[in-house]
Amino acid sequence: MAFVSGYEHDIFVSYAHLDNEGEPAWVDTLLRQLHTDLKQRLGTEDLEIWIDHAVEGNRPLTPGIMQALKGSAILLVVMSMGYLASEWCTRERSAFLGFVKDCVADGRIFIVDCRETDLRARPPEFGDLTGFKFWTRDPDADGATRTLGPPDMKEHAYTTMVINLSDRIARTLKQLRIERGVRNQAGTAAVTERIFVARSTDDLEGREEELNGYGRQAGLEVLPDTWYPESSEADFRAAMEADLKRCVLYVQLLSTSRGRKARFAGDKRFPALQYQIASQCQKPMFLWRHPNEDLSAIDDETHHALVEGARAEGFEDFKAAVVAAARSKPPAEKIRSPRVSVFVNADRDDLDVARQLGEVLAARGVECYWPLLEGSPERVRRDLEDNLNECDGLVLIYGASEPAWIRDQLRQGRKILSQRERALAALAIYLGPPPEQKKELAVALPGLLVLDGRAGVNPTALLPFVQRLTPEQG
């Protein structure tokens, strides 16, 4: 009996028989483990998985297979080069998509990547769906790829992926059952919040999957769940920003590896690119690195600054902190005494924005100063140094000014700020008018906030800066 009312089968498995050859049979082994784990998650023996063990060939889909496809709630695809080359698998896929037009958007297709495949070779019907990666590069075989599991079906990376796959399928089946109007006696874990976990470098994929599974077990939804387009930086950025807007915080795992180049984005490295995009979306950011990471091994200045600013702590503590932060209520907006001061630094063309921003902060109980642009060069320089020495927070206005001005101010300010006894509580770049896309600053600094006020001075955009300025007031 199927778990989801109205269907004969909960899961239809589409695979190339070539991937089930050998001992143990990989597909059969995966399904046995998945079947057991799913029943335990659902709290019932009612679960039907359909798989065809007949030898595929140049024959039409039988009425029995067509009926099984039509009567299945979920399509599970075992993706490989053999699957892509199989005409039989193509017919199964097309038939299922024909029965259920919106199954991709509804999250009813699950892809198990048992072998490395070129994303561009995948069927267009699957769009940019991400798969569950059941393969790895083996360092003992000069980086050659292999399927997780055989000969050790208890391999940690393999069992972790089985758990994550089972958890996602169970959630989908529960939701489908609810939509069918049947009360789920086993209970349904509601997704409370969403978190964004940046794509990690190859050496941290296991940690990333562990974090994703931990978050889902805690009732969180983890994004992204699709691959982003790599046709241009603008397309990649738009897709990532759309997901970030749905999330309560941004999480990134870092190591000495700079990651692969994003050739569509001027050869930026993916870790730095993702961080740059996220830093402009005003989300709390949780960055992690191993406490024993050797930072001296990082030659790249941008990546060094990124890793250096990450939390160096045990991974279990980090996972718990991420879940706690995702579940916590946003801190109060108001600021109480003692008062703090902010220096709003701006070039001449952005001085009006600095004044307006200062007035908004002053209305919230924050003392604000902006540059003196009149007087002798010595007087102007001394005023700048005094402000940098005494402020609790620093905001740089990036509106009509050029990126070179921002970079110069950051470099000059660092010399003064490094000599202070009291560390700066908050540092931000405020994107001011005009509203069009800004030129890249090519800067990644630990703790740097990027606030979007391109449409004008926006009090809401200032909230992350204010909260960091006085964290004890939350």
Q: pLDDT tens for residues 145-184?
A: 999 988 788 898 999 999 999 999 999 998 888 776 543 3
What's the pLDDT tens digit per position in 308-321?
888 999 999 999 99
CATH code for the domain in which residue 412 is found: 3.40.50.450
Q: Do 166 and 268 belong together in one domain?
A: no
Determine the structural domain holding residue 356 and report its residue range.
341-473
Percent of the chain, pLDDT > 90? 36
pLDDT over 60 (residue 6): yes
User: Would you put residue 204 in left (φ > 0), alpha (ψ -120 to 50) or beta?
Assistant: alpha
Q: Do 202 and 132 belong together in one domain?
A: no
**Mean pLDDT, the chain, integer:** 84
What's the pLDDT tens digit per position in 121-137?
887 777 677 889 999 98
In this structure, the dihedral spanned by the alpha carbons of residues 284, 289, 295 and 298, taken in order and rounded to 10 degrees, is -80
236 falls within a domain? yes
Q: Do 373 and 291 belong together in one domain?
A: no
313 falls within a domain? yes
Task: Identify the CA nearest to 367 among candidates 376, 358, 375.
Answer: 358
259 falls within a domain? yes
Considering 300, 328, 356, which residue would you say is the last residue of a domain? 328
- The model's confidence at residue 429, banded by pLDDT at 50, 70 and 90, is very high
Res 322: pLDDT: 94
pTM (2 decimals)? Answer: 0.51
Considering 281, 299, 328, which residue would you say is the last residue of a domain? 328
pLDDT over 50 (residue 190): no
34 vs 161: CA distance, rounded Å? 10
212 vs 232: CA distance, rounded Å? 27
User: For the chain, how many structural domains are there in total?
Assistant: 3
334 falls within a domain? no
440 falls within a domain? yes
User: Do the strands 341-345 and 72-79 form a parallel or antiparallel pair, or are they unpaired?
Assistant: unpaired
Res 474: pLDDT: 38
Res 61: pLDDT: 57
Helices (H), 180-313: 205-217, 233-245, 270-279, 301-308
- Asked which of 72-81, 133-142, 161-170 is least confident by mean pLDDT, the reply is 133-142
- The model's confidence at residue 244, banded by pLDDT at 50, 70 and 90, is very high
Element (H, E) at 225: none
- Mean pLDDT (whole number) for 444-470: 81
Using an 8 Å Cβ cutoff, are 122 and 79 in contact?
Answer: yes
